[in-house]
Amino acid sequence: MNFKKLRSLLGVHGFPWDEQKGPRRILGVHPTRVNVTHDSKPSSGAKSATNSHVFGCDSREPATGHGFLVSDRPVYFGISGQVCGRSLVEIIRYPHPTLRHVSKPLKRVDTELRKMVDEMFELMYAARGIGLAANQVDLPYRLFVLNLQSDPELKEEERVFINPVITHRKGTAQREEGCLSLPELYAEVTRPEKIKVNAFDLSGNELSLELDGLFARAVQHEVDHLEGVLFIDRLSETSVADIKEPLEEFELDFKSRRDLGEIADDEAIAARLVDLERMRT
Ligand code: CO
């Protein structure tokens, strides 16, 4: 992967937020615009998202990093774990129902949401990941964060994709993937090799990018999350059979955490997502 080329691609920010272009919605090719504000007050009477469930800290499990190899360089889509000492959200694991939530486009970006995005980056770095979607931290918003270098020092590598829409797909490529919500589980996934994606950044700039290699793969992996799709859904029956055991372990772990009252029931999770959606989608 040519990162110089990627960086130069990413330097292009598309259309300025205030440019008068008129409606450009062509069958969902363009992402839904977001209203960017610097006001931290919620737009409705909905409950604040900064409740203890979202930002609660739990010292049960220390942050640890797990990696895997894509091609010859180590990259990470994931791990889990919780990080304490700061008000960080938790990365939820399969089979948490929010991982199956189809996220609605964001209409509002406010100070509180920016804070959530900062926390997502922190969690992602703590887990040594390169990408994290909002529903992996139990938020129903159509956004994800990326830093393909997984290096918190490289702020210029940080990207926030809001309301992303993949408009073109070309070729096929196979590579090993993992996911922060399925730590230590890896499998070869076949996906289109090249894509075009449109999205907005946190400042409301429209991004329009042509991607290949790891960048294209990571964006597709994260856009899948926003559709409630996991990389294990893209495996052949034989490959799924190969990972049957670890998947069952995740399911057992989830059940025992729920039995202990550490994870809310499906109804409570769904109600909370509706409240959060009401605020910004
Ligand atoms: Co993932």
Is the CB of residue 121 less than 8 Å from the CB of residue 109?
Answer: no
Task: Give pLDDT, residue 9.
Answer: 34
Task: Give pLDDT, residue 39.
Answer: 59
Q: Given a cut of 50, is residue 18 above it in pLDDT?
A: no
CA of 133 to the centre of ligand 1 (A): 7
CA of 227 to the centre of ligand 1 (A): 12
CA of 58 to the centre of ligand 1 (A): 22
CA of 47 to the centre of ligand 1 (A): 28
CA of 152 to the centre of ligand 1 (A): 19
Q: Given a cut of 80, is residue 273 above it in pLDDT?
A: yes
| pLDDT > 70 fraction of the chain, expressed in percent and rounded | 71
Q: Which residue range forms the structural domain that includes residue 208?
A: 3-280
CA of 196 to the centre of ligand 1 (A): 20
In the chain, the number of structural domains is 1
Q: Which is more confidently placed, 174 or 48?
A: 174
Over residues 87-116, mean pLDDT:
90
Q: Which is more confidently placed, 124 or 30?
A: 124
Would you call 158 a catalytic residue per the annotation? no
CA of 111 to the centre of ligand 1 (A): 25
Residue of 119, 184, 222, 267 with catalytic role: 222
Question: Which among 5-19, 24-38, 86-100, 172-186 has the top mean pLDDT?
Answer: 172-186
CA of 40 to the centre of ligand 1 (A): 29
Task: Check which CATH number belongs to the domain holding 34 and give it.
Answer: 3.90.45.10
pTM given for the model: 0.74
CA of 234 to the centre of ligand 1 (A): 12
Confidence of residue 37 (pLDDT cuts 50, 70, 90): confident
- 62-100 per-position pLDDT tens digit: 333 322 223 333 333 433 333 333 344 689 999 999 999
Q: What is the DSSP code string of the chain? A: --HHHHHHHHH---S-TT-------STT-SPPP-EE----S-SSSPPPS-SHHHH---TTS------EEETTEEE-S-------SS-------TT-GGGG--PBPP-EE-HHHHHHHHHHHHHHHHTT-SEEEGGGGT--BSEEEE-TT--TT-GGG-EEEEEEEEEEEES-EEEEEEETTEEEEEEEEEE-SEEEEEEE-TTSPEEEEEE-HHHHHHHHHHHHHHTT--GGGGS-HHHHHHTHHHHHHHHHHHHHHHHTTSS--HHHHHHHHHHHHHHH-
